[in-house]
Structure 1
Amino acid sequence: MREPLLNGIKVVDLGSFIAAPAAATVMADFGAEVVKVEPPDGDGYRRLLAGAEVDHFWLLTSRNKRGLALDLKSAGGADVLHRLVGWADVFVTNYRESLLDRLGLGYETLKATNPRLIYAHVSGYGRAGPEAARPAFDTTAWWGRSGLQEFTRDPQAPPIISAPGMGDHATAMALFGAVMAALYRRERTGEGAFVGTSLLANGIWSNGMVLQAMLAGDDWSTAKHEGERPRQALAGLYRTRDDRWVQLALLNPVKEWPPFTEAMLHPEWQQDARFATPADRLAHGDALGLLIAEAVAGLTLEEFRSRMDGRGLTYGYAAHNRELVADPQLLDNGMLIATDETEGVYTRTIANPIQVSGERPRVPSRAPEIGQHSVDILRDIGCGADEIDGWLAAGVVRQAEAGADPA
């Protein structure tokens, strides 16, 4: 049986919340040995769902990892981490650089400890510039600061708040790719590397099409909000009879216009002079949009889908989360996967979005309790029993009690 893709790669996850730790999650999925380092009272991410009986976020992001509870502010904490870094291939963090420097965990310091180390860092707004030190979450940096939040709002309506972790998970995949590139280079040169990305950089990349136009002086946001751009009726949102929303994406108007009019039971639109050419349909977008809205409003979602699918037309619809958990498209493509538990709240989880031929990601196991594997990890990196006992007694390291309640 083939070894997992990242078998033998050792990763130290000194991140908090999502963007950096989620990159380590993908590495763990593909067989890397990941040690999750957190304070003795636990990562604050554990408490994000305050009052909830189950910390669903923690279960998702910390699966397949071993847990080490370590007080980095204590006299011996930094020494323990340096020894762990000497064992590791990859160090992942999203701590602010000022804090990392105070803790003696900056790139140059850890590079001296382990020259082959891949040091992977996520910042909020980038490592330079007037906002480099600002604290950030994905909703502030990836969503708000990037222009995505402003561009996607409806005219005259306030902006909306992003979904939890929406930008973090996208940023995590960028960091994962950077780590893989650095590991590949290390195979050829033997040298470690610093790799980094930011929430803002990934938001800017996600908003790249709008910003590329803006670089040329074409401000789509202002035109959209002031009604200066013609309505794209064949790429609009429409409500069905059963109160569902569908999104048209008919970007090949010459080919798709005739079958679309038939799908809407209005072939006479093809003879309407206002809609004779793609340019005409764009110029009379408001009128066409009203006709489409009326036609869609007479159909249920399933009726609309049947008519569109039967003609190979491109569209989408706003899915409900309660539908997705049993969605055959997700199940058939392995987007929702079974864990190693057969009962309880953690029998299934979400797969990472990468597929590699011949590779089967690790079956997800439950995220660790605070300090669940502390002693075993320290033994594995060569620490002696007396050292470990001293750290435990001094509160430098915490070991979870046997039989602690799962997350």
Structure 2
Amino acid sequence: MTLEAGTPQLFVNPQAQFHCLAFPGVEVPEGIVVPIKAENAELGAIWVMSHTQECRFDLEDVRLLSNLAVFAGSALTIVNARDSGEESDRRHNEFIAMLSHELRNPMAPIDGAISAAKRLCAENERAVEVLTIAQRQMRHLRTLVDDLLDAARLKHGKLAIKHSDTSLSDIVSDAVTAIRHHIASRRHTLKITGLDEPVPVRADHVRLSQVLGNLLSNAAKYTPVGGTIELDVRVEPNNSSEETPGLIVIDVTDNGIGIDSAVLPHVFELFAQSARGQARSEGGLGIGLAVAKRMVELHHGTISIRSEGVGKGTVVTLRLPIARTIANTDAGAPGATAAAPEPARLLLVDDNQDALRALSVLLELEGHEVTTSDNGRGAIRLMSEMPPRLQSSMWACRKWTASKLHEPFA
């Protein structure tokens, strides 16, 4: 009745009108019911009962209860909005993760087919040229999809790293290779210093290469044509720890458009974007620096960025306690140069038939004898009928195959 009326209601002797209130031994001379409203809707009501004949309600009681109802309505609105926002955010993150995985499925066979097509028409320069464009754009698309996946992992705290003994020179080399087309297309000069001697480190080779690649890619995008980008590496003694021989300090410097002081505090936030003139058309999703920061933190390091302002370039500095002594260097660590394997008999198994066919053609062009199966039962049968030749160095074979497909090895 109160909710239908939309105003506070006073009920005198409500037990006579509402038999459900006839509690044994309980007297209710009066009752006030005040609606709880929010955005033109009733969320509920506050109900107060008097239990003695001497206690009667007046207008001051109505005013007090009405104020309390306003506070209750505001609180319920905030809670509902929070719950709705959390649910919406959860569904959004699940959708992004699902979309990223679904996009990766067709990308692998497309990339493999482009690589095979380039080999098949190597003598047709115009065909190779347009296929190279397609391959470059596929690489860009794959980067965006990987960024979406990393954003979903970052939001759920699932970004992780795998340490191994490797070389900083190889990590930098992989990072430069991944973004070389950015450097070349804009005719930049890239200077690398501090890597004349081997710098052994213990780190996640792939993820740290991803971080450096992101920093170099940003420098290339936001530096005018013909600019200069520098990557400087130095080892500083770590006096605070006997276990780590030193801190690796990496500076990535450019003479590009710089960063406005108002934007600088937010550059490491997820999906942070800023207007950067013509370079904005080449920008990403505002994910890379947020992921890079988390990756550096997982290496127990720090990342900072500074700029004197618009048009005055940018310097990004990494400080990583990942150095190790040369005596512990592992020649078989990730990043070690591996020769292409000799032609071999290979068995490929994948339920994605397009990916299976594309990779099969690519490997056959490399001189391998390839047998394929799109299901596990068929693969087991083929294993017994035509055992594939297993290479002694699976790392070399896998890394070489990944490089042929232009896929970042993981």
> Per the shorter chain, which TM-score range?
under 0.3
Question: Over alpha carbons, which structure has the higher Rg?
Answer: 2
Given the two structures, how large is their TM-score scaled by the length of structure 1? 0.21
* Higher RCO, Cα 8 Å, sep 6+: 1
Given the two structures, how large is their TM-score scaled by the length of structure 2? 0.21
* Higher helix proportion: 2
